[in-house]
Amino acid sequence: MKIAIAGAGAMGSRFGLMLKQGGNDVLLIDGWQEHINAIKENGLKANYNGEEITVKVPIVNQNEVPTGEQFDLIILFTKAMQLEKMLQDVKPLIADHTEVLCLLNGIGHEDVIEKFVPMEKIFIGNTMWTAGLEGPGKAKLFGSGSVELQNLGIGQEESAKKLAETLSASGLNAKYSDNIHYSIYRKACVNGTMNGLCTILDVNMAGLGATKPAHDMVVTIVNEFAAVAAKENVNLDIPEVIEYVETCFDPTTIGMHFPSMHQDLIKNNRLTEIDYINGAISRKGKKYGVVTPYCDFLTQLVHSKEEILGAK
């Protein structure tokens, strides 16, 4: 399959690497020139579950996407605030048959994608895979993960199932979800707790889980997400979601991971996706008349920290 990864940071590199190793024809697309140069010169390097590997994979700057090339699949893996610009830049690659899969964290990305891609070609989902960048062209990939996805367009279930099979054939452990809005809210509860709290407290997920107030904070935040989701007819099974969120504390699975928001702000001094996670719940809460004090406060704390650190 001919696949473009639009946004080849940590996660785009992971998916690109695994899909390439799985025999697909992969093109990475990104905007970070130093990273592009490093991959062009030395290949994509990765510490892959403890083993140092190099994979030769083509990469282009999003300002110079090849005209005349068409892709079967484009996987969107930018940060939420970069999504619209990326879609504008990759527009020439979107042919009539091109399927577009969005696996970004956060809520409501379909509103942006719909401006560029016909509904029947849009697939949305989320992932529990993790990844980090050690520097330009060098990824750190450990542990295992999963993907859930569904079609947005009516009658595209078979295409969504095939897409999940394609990802799974490269070891990405993908499955079709028959209620992706539920899955996205469920995953957003993971990010709404782990990402902001680990960033403010400067710990990994296992470190957060080892603190006494962690459980109460998780319970309160999940309840705020659930109250907002219910207004959109997504009825979260709150005890199950809390249990799911707290699996992230396990140091033997993904607990040692510093969430992507921590990587952004604390490691790389970059702005965060908080407005698309807890901030989205605050905004929706105001719209629906639901109070969300923890999400409001966490959003404010992360924005204050961005200002203090002069993040860009």
Ligand X SMILES: CC(C)(CO)C(=O)C(=O)O
Q: Which of the listed partners (ligand NDP, ligand X, none) does 82 bind, with a CB threshold of 5 to 8 Å by partner kind?
A: ligand NDP
The catalytically annotated residue of 121, 138, 187, 284 is 187
Nearest to 283 by CA among 30, 48, 108, 95: 108
Instruction: Choose between 128 and 274: whose C-beta lies nearer to ligand X.
Output: 128
The reply to whether 166 sits near ligand NDP by the rule CB under 6 A is no
Kindly tell me which residue out of 3, 55, 57, 133 binds ligand NDP, with binding defined by CB under 6 A: 133
Q: What share of residues in the chain are helix, strand, coil (percent, to 5)?
A: 50, 15, 35
Instruction: Choose between 107 and 164: whose C-beta lies nearer to ligand NDP.
Output: 107
Taking contact as CB under 6 A, which single stretch among the options 17-25, 48-56, 78-86, 159-167 is the one that binds ligand NDP? 78-86
Q: Which of the listed partners (ligand X, ligand NDP, none) does 194 bind, with a CB threshold of 5 to 8 Å by partner kind?
A: ligand X
Instruction: Choose between 164 and 188: whose C-beta lies nearer to ligand NDP.
Output: 188
CB-CB contact of 114 with 132 (8 Å): no
End-to-end CA distance of the chain: 36
Q: Which residue number places its CB atom closest to ligand X? A: 260
Task: Give residues with Cβ within 8 angstroms of 176, minimum separation 6.
Answer: 148, 149, 150, 157, 160, 161, 164
Binding residues for ligand NDP restricted to 255-274, rule: CB under 6 A:
260, 264, 268, 273
Q: How many residues does the chain have?
A: 312
The reply to whether 192 sits near ligand NDP by the rule CB under 6 A is no
Q: Which of the listed partners (ligand NDP, ligand X, none) does 98 bind, with a CB threshold of 5 to 8 Å by partner kind?
A: none
Q: Which residue number places its CB atom closest to ligand NDP? A: 9
CB-CB contact of 117 with 92 (8 Å): no
Instruction: Choose between 191 and 299: whose C-beta lies nearer to ligand X.
Output: 191
- How many whole angstroms separate alpha carbon 49 and alpha carbon 238? 33
Instruction: Choose between 30 and 246: whose C-beta lies nearer to ligand NDP.
Output: 30
Give residue 135's Cα distance to chain centre.
19
Active site residue 305: no
The reply to whether 9 sits near ligand NDP by the rule CB under 6 A is yes
Backbone angles phi, psi at 187, to 5 degrees: -70, -35
- How many whole angstroms separate alpha carbon 117 and alpha carbon 96? 9
Instruction: Choose between 28 and 131: whose C-beta lies nearer to ligand X.
Output: 131
CB-CB contact of 265 with 249 (8 Å): no
Side-chain-side CA neighbours of residue 171 (13 Å)? 13
Q: Which of the listed partners (ligand X, ligand NDP, none) does 31 bind, with a CB threshold of 5 to 8 Å by partner kind?
A: ligand NDP
- How many whole angstroms separate alpha carbon 110 and alpha carbon 233? 17
- How many whole angstroms separate alpha carbon 181 and alpha carbon 255? 25
Taking contact as CB under 6 A, which single stretch among the options 4-12, 158-166, 235-243, 295-303 is the one that binds ligand NDP? 4-12
Q: With H, G, I as helix, E, B as strand and everything else as coil, classify residue 116.
A: coil
Task: Give residues with Cβ within 8 angstroms of 133, minimum separation 6.
Answer: 9, 10, 13, 35, 139, 140, 263
User: Could you tell me the smallest distance in angstroms from the CB atom of residue 257 to ligand X?
Assistant: 6
Q: Which of the listed partners (ligand NDP, ligand X, none) does 190 bind, with a CB threshold of 5 to 8 Å by partner kind?
A: ligand X
The reply to whether 44 sits near ligand NDP by the rule CB under 6 A is no
The residues annotated as belonging to the active site are 187
Binding residues for ligand NDP, rule: CB under 6 A, are: 7-12, 30-32, 77-80, 82, 104-105, 127, 130-131, 133, 260, 264, 268, 273
